[in-house]
Amino acid sequence: MSAIETICVQGGYTPGNGEPREIPIIQSTTFRYDTGEDMGKLFDLEASGYFYTRLQNPTNDLVAAKIRDLEGGTAAMLTSSGQAANFFAMFNLAGCGDHIVASSSIYGGTFNLISVTMARMGIEVTFVSPDCTDAELDAAFRPNTKLLFGETIANPALTVLDIEQFAKAAHRHGVPLIVDNTFATPVNCRPIEWGADIVTHSTTKYMDGHGVAVGGAIVDGGRFDWMAHADRFPGLCTPDESYHGVTYAERFGQGGAFITKCTAQLMRDFGAIQSPQHAFYLNLGLESLHVRMARHCENGQAMAEFLASHPKVSHVSYCGLPGDPYHERALKYLPKGSCGVVSFELRGGREAAGVFMNSLKLAAIETHVADARTCCLSPASTTHRQMTAEQLAQAGIPAGLVRLSCGLEHKEDLIADVAQALEKV
Ligand SMILES: *Cc1c(COP(=O)(O)O)cnc(C)c1O
């Protein structure tokens, strides 16, 4: 299958004669075998198949295959959340005593995961600006660096990553680039085509799109040659004693090693699996992703233009605006549009933002974005409240920032709602 629209609707699953038209939900924790030897082969990774839903489930794998094809990757897996996806993607490569480099302009939950929880596991991080020079990027790498991480469109700062620049820097230093593509979705950007090696998603956002199922996904682009950097990635390139000495990069090749290791080790040991029911909901969302993204972008663009011309608004971040610092990059990486999320600052700071949000009628205050229903949030007082003033500034988040996620309603209704709320400020 070729076009992204067709993959959204039909990718991942092709029913045989007389089989269910829609992806079946395999609501079973376990799977039956005729002999102990049959099952033993699965445990040794000698045969592929299912034995326990904490590691893998057929429904999940059908939906993961659709996301793999949407991103143009070679293998993919679902996780219980976007947090689990980003943690697994990084922890699959980096452990105690290792170092990673990450863009400072990332989701608050990921920032916390890296700078607090992974630090407690002995993984050090150097944050770099998404606008850093090549020299600044190069200076961040160390001999024990295992990966570079960034977001295509950062939540909530809405900076756009120069994926090619970051990919080249990662590859100069012999490590893969991991890109969280949650906000752009593969409908608007396919990071692997620009050099990214691993792509992650919070499928909770646009992919589900209806606010019903928390979930995540990891896609391997299959382009990173682990064996060429075997010393740096012993987990992929030397025998895993917990699987009778299988060497992932040898047995499963460049296209399969990363996801197989991630499933066999991390899913086995942490069990952050998405439920098959959630995978089914996710698939329903994916079936209309291409149609919805176009409307989210249309509404986001109209809202950004309205806000930019409003006297009570001091600043609007939306890469679809010609004056936005990321407009040029968006033309390159996001030619079809970016997303429905618009960030803006009100004259009057945190207090004005509070009055504005409390006055909205259609848009609801929610810890959520990328939903069919318009919603809004003040990042500094909610999702990013664990960050210090300095960290907020580094992540490009002023105290009075409002993040407005334009849903699928009619744009005139949304603008009228925002206009009346601005009058109250
Ligand atoms: C929401 C989000 C996450 C975390 O995903 P959850 O599904 O909430 O765990 C990670 N990255 C980005 C860019 C997000 O927007």
Q: What is the CATH number of the domain that holds 26?
A: 3.40.640.10
Q: Is the CB–ligand 1 distance for residue 131 below 6 Å?
A: no
Whether residue 265 is found in the same domain as residue 166: yes
Distance CA 385, CA 105 (A): 15
Whether residue 264 is found in the same domain as residue 303: no
Confirm if 209 and 370 have CB atoms less than 8 A apart: yes
Residue 1, pLDDT above cutoff 60: no
Q: Is the CB–ligand 1 distance for residue 152 below 6 Å?
A: no
Model's pTM, two decimal places?
Answer: 0.96
Peptide bond into 15 cis (omega under 30): no
φ/ψ of residue 385, rounded to 5: -70, -15
CA of 308 to the centre of ligand 1 (A): 27
**What is the mean pLDDT of the segment spanning 52-66?**
97
Confirm if 285 and 208 have CB atoms less than 8 A apart: yes
Confirm if 182 and 205 have CB atoms less than 8 A apart: yes
Q: Is the CB–ligand 1 distance for residue 180 below 6 Å?
A: yes
Q: Is the CB–ligand 1 distance for residue 159 below 6 Å?
A: no
Residue 244, pLDDT above cutoff 90: no
Which range among 56-65, 222-231, 396-405 shows the weakest confidence by mean pLDDT? 396-405
Where a domain ends, among 219, 251, 283? 283
Cα torsion angle, 270, 82, 88, 192, sign: positive
Contacts from 126-131 at CB under 8 Å and sequence distance 24+?
A: 126/99, 126/100, 126/101, 126/102, 127/101, 127/102, 127/103, 127/394, 128/101, 128/102, 128/103, 128/104, 129/103, 129/104, 129/105, 130/103, 130/104, 130/105, 130/154, 130/159, 130/160, 130/161, 130/162, 131/159
Distance CA 94, CA 235 (A): 9
Whether residue 311 is found in the same domain as residue 264: no
Minimum CA distance residue for ligand 1 atom 6: 82
CA of 201 to the centre of ligand 1 (A): 7
Whether residue 295 is found in the same domain as residue 205: no
- Residue tagged 């863009």 (tokens): 103
Angle at 229 between CA 225 and CA 230, to 5 degrees: 105
pLDDT-derived band at 388, boundaries 50, 70, 90: confident
Whether residue 204 is found in the same domain as residue 63: yes
Q: What residue numbers bound the domain in which 361 lies? A: 290-423
Where a domain ends, among 283, 307, 335? 283
pLDDT in the model for residue 385? 74
Minimum CA distance residue for ligand 1 atom 12: 107
Helix (H, G, I), strand (E, B) or coil at 370: coil
CA of 6 to the centre of ligand 1 (A): 26
Whether residue 188 is found in the same domain as residue 88: yes
Residue 9 lies in a domain: no
CA of 215 to the centre of ligand 1 (A): 9
Residue 5 lies in a domain: no
Helix (H, G, I), strand (E, B) or coil at 313: strand
More confident residue, 99 or 368: 99
**DSSP H helix total and E strand total for the chain:** 19, 12
Residue 8 lies in a domain: no
Whether residue 247 is found in the same domain as residue 277: yes
Which range among 118-122, 271-275, 352-356, 359-363 shows the weakest confidence by mean pLDDT? 352-356
Residue 372 lies in a domain: yes
Residue 275, pLDDT above cutoff 90: yes
Structural domains of the chain, count: 2
Helices (H), 182-336: 185-188, 234-237, 248-251, 253-261, 268-270, 276-287, 289-308, 327-333
φ/ψ of residue 151, rounded to 5: -115, 135
Minimum CA distance residue for ligand 1 atom 5: 82
Residue 10 lies in a domain: no
Q: Is the CB–ligand 1 distance for residue 155 below 6 Å?
A: yes
Q: Which residues pair with 346 in a beta bridge?
A: 313
Cα torsion angle, 190, 273, 262, 55, sign: negative
Q: Is the CB–ligand 1 distance for residue 151 below 6 Å?
A: yes
Distance CA 206, CA 370 (A): 5
**What is the mean pLDDT of the segment spanning 19-40?**
95
Residue 267 lies in a domain: yes
Cα torsion angle, 187, 192, 193, 194, sign: positive
Residue 310 lies in a domain: yes
Q: Which residues contact 194 (CB under 8 A, 6 or more apart)?
A: 163, 164, 167, 333
Q: Name the nearest CA neighbour of 350 among 405, 425, 300.
A: 425
More confident residue, 1 or 278: 278
Q: Name the nearest CA neighbour of 338 among 359, 319, 366.
A: 319
Q: Which residues contact 28 (CB under 8 A, 6 or more apart)?
A: 53, 57
Residue 2 lies in a domain: no
Q: Is the CB–ligand 1 distance for residue 200 below 6 Å?
A: no
Whether residue 279 is found in the same domain as residue 294: no
Q: What percentage of the chain carries pLDDT values higher than 90?
A: 86
Whether residue 274 is found in the same domain as residue 338: no
Whether residue 310 is found in the same domain as residue 267: no
Whether residue 30 is found in the same domain as residue 147: yes
The atom of ligand 1 lying closest to the CA of 84 is 9
pLDDT-derived band at 348, boundaries 50, 70, 90: confident
Whether residue 317 is found in the same domain as residue 239: no
Distance CA 5, CA 149 (A): 28
pLDDT-derived band at 396, boundaries 50, 70, 90: low
Where a domain ends, among 283, 314, 337? 283
